[in-house]
Copies of this chain bind each other. A is one copy, B any other.
């Protein structure tokens, strides 16, 4: 045999090329199983768990799970093994060793511990094959999004998270002591991305978003990763919706192209999504565009489904928003009727939308805004913004806000802004629904909630 340089491998898919050769690999000892006369030794590499075989007891008995090692092995053809190759360990160098046994079992296919426990021991439980696959998927989603942003000429920006005022209003804002002055953590990059739409026309940001919401639900965390874009020169907020479909499509394509391993591991089926969104009715055929409903139509659909009487209907409309159960039910109805797991709800009542949202000139109680609901959960809020100074100031006054406190925000309106709009998508929410998790915390690396500040 010709002499070759010893190859360092890290993925199972590389093995077949090296049959008959000596290879090296490095990683953590994931699991050792003693068999009759030999051992299976599974090694965790950055993306795989690679099984090796060893018949030298003295070598295996000094190895502990979670030790970090460099292994030299021979790749031997073996039909029964994964990828048709078995790795016979020749030698092991131990680089570091754990001090104690794991407080939770992480090397089973399924982790049989509570979510609470998973989160308490996050630095360890993320070493589990399936747990970490979640965050590979999340990386893949974002890579897809970024490819979309590059193709569509959005400029990436970084806006401050310590701010002088909350964009979304309300009480759910964290306070920071800023050298003795009161400041807040940004509830969204809203103000800044609008300003930047006046500079670059199309901008995007991926960054932390802070919401001091006190509710302790499966849908909320207090710090999440916002994927935001904003663009000028729109003629309708529907352009934003069409772009969002393209953006989601990019992410799904990225996943099916490069993350098949993780999708299989997590047993996930990607949702269907049209190539281009042509807004159409609820009667859309499967594989067609994302169905689109006005807020009032959606409320009616729900009332119908529930067989509500007149009074109950009025009450439901008056809430100006959906209860979580309503979002779930809506999703289900739409799925039944059209086969779509996504649904756009448009024209939310002005009463429940922030002050910068554009009202529908033909029906001022409604806004030129939308939410995207995916598998029963709102993952995006977007819409057209007010670009006219007088209109904005008038609306702020109507709401009892003091425009003077927003001087640096209103500067752009005063000096010329194009018609513009944008949206924000919660990365953890999208990941969670894509993977069919009940709790958003499963899709957050180190979640923060009203009770949790560690790890």
Contacts and interface: CB of A to CB of B under 8 A. Distances in A.
Interface stretch (A351-359, A363-371, A385-393): A385-393
- Count of identical protomers in the assembly: 2
Nearest to A408: B455
Nearest to A417: B96
A414 B103 CA distance: 11
A181 to B, nearest CB: 7
Interface in A7-37: 26-28
B408 A179 contact: no
Contact of A223 (B162, B418, B445): B162
A455 to B, nearest CB: 3
A178 interface: yes
Interface stretch (A118-126, A301-309, A331-339): A118-126
Interface stretch (A77-85, A195-203, A244-252, A375-383): A195-203
A162 B222 contact: yes
A389 B207 CA distance: 32
A416 B124 CA distance: 10
A225 B156 CA distance: 12
A388 B96 contact: yes
A412 B124 CA distance: 7
A411 B161 contact: no
A415 B124 contact: yes
A276 interface: no
Given A96-B419, A222-B162, A415-B99, A233 B68 contact: yes
A110 interface: no
Contact of A414 (B99, B132, B419, B447): B99
A427 B163 CA distance: 20
A454 B164 contact: yes
A136 interface: yes
Interface in A133-174: 135-136, 139, 142-143, 146, 150, 153, 155-164, 174
Chain A interface size band reads: 35 or more
Q: Which of A124, A175, A185 has the most CB of B within 10 A?
A: A124
Contacts of A96: 387-388, 416-419
A453 interface: yes
Contact of A411 (B181, B418, B455): B455
A201 B10 CA distance: 11
Contacts of A207: 207-208
B455 A123 contact: no
A418 B98 CA distance: 10
A177 interface: yes
Interface string A442-455: 00011110100111
A253 B184 CA distance: 38
Contacts of A177: 174-175
Given A162-B174, A200-B132, A179 B214 contact: yes
Contacts of A121: 411
A100 B158 CA distance: 29
Contacts of A200: 46, 132, 135-136
A66 interface: yes
Contacts of A414: 98-100
10 contacts: A27-B201, A98-B415, A124-B415, A132-B200, A158-B225, A158-B427, A160-B208, A160-B448, A162-B185, A207-B208
